[in-house]
């Protein structure tokens, strides 16, 4: 299954089998992260550790993401690790974003951003878009199209879905909008990670539609924080 096809199959997995994924698989995941391009100017770093070395022991391993402080840096981590989340589930494993987890070692906490846990599971994938609890498309987008439908299924902290998509000629702007009971608590970091996550779904869906993604740019302006994704039709390249 392609990563795009995983978008309406993946889920947050909270129940794991007591067995380790094999070392080859863990190596593959490590290489996948290394080979994933980060947003311009961003340099997050990642390590895979046994789940016993993080405060919330879920699954067999945790991917610890580290970055500088800042909205664009947090969004970048979401953008990189959501591709990894889809990849992990395409390998038949389960995964879970864990805003509540952190490294047990205090000296690792300074630049720590977020944790993605993974491991073996027997929880099945979802059957399709109707299995998701999400806001209706008109609450999150000015257009109902395949890109917005993929964005709608993105995971977010507390399922807060803190985004709005505005489609314009050859670009879409994914803008932060606080939602839900915990919006003040989530606003600083977790919702910015969420914006990177949803942008990954947007980029995969654009490619699936035959569009060349030309740039993905995090921006803060008078309207607040957002990510602009520009494309051109792949056929225009000649
Ligand atoms: C940044 C982020 C942090 C999250 N933190 C937690 C967490 O600490 N505990 C948890 O059980 N789920 C956590 N989740 C999972 C969300 O609750 C889940 O993605 C959302 O409810 C949608 O469900 P789904 O992923 O199954 O589609 C987190 C998700 C994201 C994106």
Is pLDDT at 231 greater than 80 in this prediction?
yes
- Band (234; pLDDT cuts 50, 70, 90): confident
Atom of ligand 1 nearest to the CA of 155: 19
Is pLDDT at 43 greater than 60 in this prediction?
yes
Q: Report the candidate in 190, 196, 203, 130 with the shortest Cα–Cα distance to residue 159.
A: 190
What is the per-residue pLDDT for 237?
Answer: 47
What is the per-residue pLDDT for 235?
Answer: 60
Is pLDDT at 41 greater than 70 in this prediction?
yes
Is pLDDT at 236 greater than 90 in this prediction?
no
What mean pLDDT do residues 70-74 have?
A: 97
Which stretches within the chain are classed as H helix? 3-6, 23-34, 71-90, 137-140, 146-152, 183-187, 190-208
The preferred substitution site among 155, 160, 196 for testing ligand 1, maximizing ligand atoms within 8 Å of CB, is 155
Check pocket membership of 85 for ligand 1, CB cut-off 6 A: no
Check pocket membership of 51 for ligand 1, CB cut-off 6 A: no
pLDDT digits (tens, 9 = 90+) for 129-174: 999 999 999 999 999 999 999 999 999 999 999 999 999 999 999 9
Neighbours of 82 (CB within 10 A): 28
Provide CATH code, domain 3-119. Answer: 3.40.109.10
| pTM listed for this prediction | 0.97
CA 35 to chain centre: 16
pLDDT digits (tens, 9 = 90+) for 193-218: 999 999 999 999 999 999 999 999 99
Domain residue ranges of the chain, discontinuous segments joined by +: 3-119, 129-237
Percent of the chain with pLDDT strictly greater than 90: 91
Calculate how far, in angstroms, residue 237's C-alpha sits from the geometric centre of ligand 1. Answer: 39
Calculate how far, in angstroms, residue 190's C-alpha sits from the geometric centre of ligand 1. Answer: 10
Calculate how far, in angstroms, residue 169's C-alpha sits from the geometric centre of ligand 1. Answer: 33
Check pocket membership of 11 for ligand 1, CB cut-off 6 A: yes
Q: Which CATH number fits domain 129-237: 3.40.50.300, 3.40.50.1000, 3.40.109.30, 3.40.718.10?
A: 3.40.109.30
Residue 226 forms beta bridges with which residues?
Answer: 175, 219
Check pocket membership of 208 for ligand 1, CB cut-off 6 A: no
Check pocket membership of 155 for ligand 1, CB cut-off 6 A: yes
Check pocket membership of 7 for ligand 1, CB cut-off 6 A: no
- Band (108; pLDDT cuts 50, 70, 90): confident
């Amino acid at each position: 299954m392609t990563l795009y096809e995983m978008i309406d199959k993946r889920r947050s997995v909270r129940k794991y089998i007591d067995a380790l994924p094999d070392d080859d698989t863990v190596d593959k995941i490590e290489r996948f992260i290394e080979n994933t391009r980060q947003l311009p100017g961003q340099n997050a770093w990642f390590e895979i550790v046994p789940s016993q070395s993080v405060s919330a022991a879920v699954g067999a391993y945790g991917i610890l993401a580290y970055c500088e402080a800042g909205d664009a840096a947090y969004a970048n981590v979401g953008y990189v690790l959501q591709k990894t989340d889809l990849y992990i589930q395409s390998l038949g494993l389960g995964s879970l974003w864990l805003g509540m987890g952190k490294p047990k070692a205090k000296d690792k906490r300074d630049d720590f951003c977020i944790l993605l846990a993974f491991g073996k599971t027997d929880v099945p994938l979802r059957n399709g878009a109707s299995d998701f609890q999400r806001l209706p498309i008109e609450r999150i987008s000015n257009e109902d199209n395949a890109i917005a439908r993929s964005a709608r299924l993105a995971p977010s902290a507390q399922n807060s879905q803190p985004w709005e998509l505005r489609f314009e000629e050859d670009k879409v702007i994914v803008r932060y909008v606080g939602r839900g009971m915990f919006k003040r608590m989530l606003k600083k970091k977790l919702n910015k990670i969420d914006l990177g996550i949803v942008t990954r779904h947007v980029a995969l869906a654009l490619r699936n539609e035959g569009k060349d993604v030309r740039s993905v740019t995090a921006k803060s302006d008078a309207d607040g924080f957002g990510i602009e994704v520009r494309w051109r039709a792949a056929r225009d390249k000649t």
